[in-house]
Amino acid sequence: MDGSNKQIRLARRPVGTPTLEDFSFTEAPIGTPGEGEVLIRNVYISVDPYLRGRMEDVKSYIPPFQLNDVIISGVIGQVVESKSAHFAKGDIVIGMLGWEEYSVAHEKTLRKLDPALAPVTANLGIIGMTGLTAYFGLLDIGQPKEGETVVVSGAAGAVGSTVGQIAKIKGARVVGIAGSEEKCSYLINELGFDAAINYKTEEVGKVLEKACPDGIDVYFDNVGGEISDAVFPLLNKFARIPVCGAISAYNKTEADIGSRVQTYLIKTSAFMKGFTVGDYSSRFKEGGAQLAAWLNEGKLKYEETIKEGFDSIIEAFLDLFKGKNLGKQLVKISEFE
């Protein structure tokens, strides 16, 4: 296929909060698929906080990006040329693809989507990796019981908002911590949270104590830092703490020093476990089916913040660390045909 392919690459490793200068906009020829491959015109690109960790040259649960690499994340696109027996021109597919207008991918790395089953973007969010993260982290590690109190940090984000709703399905009382009055109102009035705390205007520890008079049984930790410090003193006996993220520390240039959690874990016999969604890859089908069922039954709701245009991708990524997104952050860079 003739033409050029816009791409976004890692120009340098960010120090602290990423900036536009950490990335480069480049152009390359549109690739040609080989045997078993397809050429995809990318339509929706997912931007996620975990990508910040891949920009550091450190060992982690997923390899770091190398300098001048095209950034890779979840992408939904449409096949425009196929040399695969499994995909035809026009198929809508999802995979881990580049921040670029066109991608060449092997058939084994893609999954075909059926727009009749659910809105396609839901596959990047509530019934995709985001929803699966919430599902397995809460139910496998958190194990909420009816009548227990569940606290969720980063509660208005894509993962946190799903965690809270699943906890409500399981009969728990849910308190969310978010960063604006708009987000807190959304949690209570739209998603059915029992209470919400604005950490930017309220003293989290004091307000949390009032919101959780019976203590905290499950704390789903998306942020770490001072918010988590405020939660630990309120943990109940045998509390469970799924540790999903630490967005408060992602952009720090010095070691983060905070609460010494060991004392609280000992006193309460609490269980604290870090995880990534990949730990549950053998159970994705199970989780996806349940999430889709709840969505179709009207038990789950979701929000998306969608920016338009290829040139908006970096801005959308940076907005994650400013708390500007409600729900899943996506960028739409083209149209389906």
| 52-66 confidence digits (pLDDT tens) | 999 999 888 889 999
Looking at residue 254, its pLDDT comes to 67
The confidence score (pLDDT) of residue 61 equals 83
CA distance 68 to 22: 10
pLDDT of 293-306, one tens digit each? 999 999 999 999 99
The third-level CATH classification (topology) of the domain covering 129-279 is: Rossmann fold (3.40.50)
Terminal alpha carbon distance of the chain: 17
Whether this prediction's pTM lies above 0.85 is answered by yes
Alpha-carbon gap, residue 300 to 165, rounded angstroms: 6
CB 246 within 8 A of CB 224: yes
> How do the residues of the chain divide into helix, strand and coil, expressed in percent and rounded to 5?
30, 30, 40
For residue 53, report the phi and psi dihedrals to the nearest 5 degrees.
-65, -30
User: From CA 187, how far away is CA 176, in angstroms rounded?
Assistant: 7
Average pLDDT score, the chain: 95
Q: Which CATH class is domain 4-125+303-332?
A: alpha beta
Which amino acid makes up residue 127?
I
Q: CA 286 to CA 273: how far, in whole Å?
A: 22
pLDDT tens column, 217-275: 999 999 999 999 999 999 999 999 999 988 755 565 566 666 689 999 999 999 999 99
Angle, CA 293 vertex, CA 289 and CA 297 arms, to 5°: 175
Give the residue extent of every domain in the chain: 4-125+303-332, 129-279
